[in-house]
């Protein structure tokens, strides 16, 4: 009589549940990669002329102080950043020097360069 009162519990198929969980996890990982790809596509859109200001190099002097080397309309500017604000330290005369391919090839690769090159591969 007790068996008739107790609700019947369905049989649990572990294989089907494991497959459902793995497919769900795969879908979430695919959504993460799709969101990363989409954000790169949206951010990569530049105007046809390109940017007129770009940061060539930056160097941290302390916890809150930095020095930036900027290229703006063909001129190089050395900018100091700190808690008090931003100040132009030097304006270089003439056009920005072109970088040799031999100098760029001789520079050692670090992990971030290898990872960036791997991400750019189609």
Say if residues 67 and 78 touch (Cβ distance below 8 Å). Answer: yes
Domain boundaries defined on the chain: 52-96
Q: Give pLDDT tens digits for 28-85.
A: 999 999 999 888 888 765 555 567 888 889 999 989 999 999 988 878 999 999 999 9
Q: Is the pTM of this model over 0.75?
A: no
H or E stretch including 51? none
Q: Are 50 and 65 in contact (CB under 8 A)?
A: no
More confident residue, 94 or 78: 78
């Amino acid at each position: 009589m007790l068996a008739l009162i107790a609700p019947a519990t369905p049989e649990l198929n572990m294989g089907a549940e494991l497959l459902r969980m793995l497919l769900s996890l795969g879908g979430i990982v695919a959504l993460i990669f799709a969101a990363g790809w989409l954000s790169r596509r949206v951010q990569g859109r530049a105007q046809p002329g390109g940017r007129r200001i770009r940061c060539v190099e930056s160097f941290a002097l302390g916890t809150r102080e930095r020095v930036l080397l900027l290229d703006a309309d063909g001129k190089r500017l050395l900018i100091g950043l700190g808690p008090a604000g931003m100040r132009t330290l030097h304006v270089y005369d003439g056009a920005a020097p072109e970088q040799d391919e031999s100098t760029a090839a001789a520079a050692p690769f670090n992990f971030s360069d290898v990872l960036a090159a791997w991400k750019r591969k189609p």
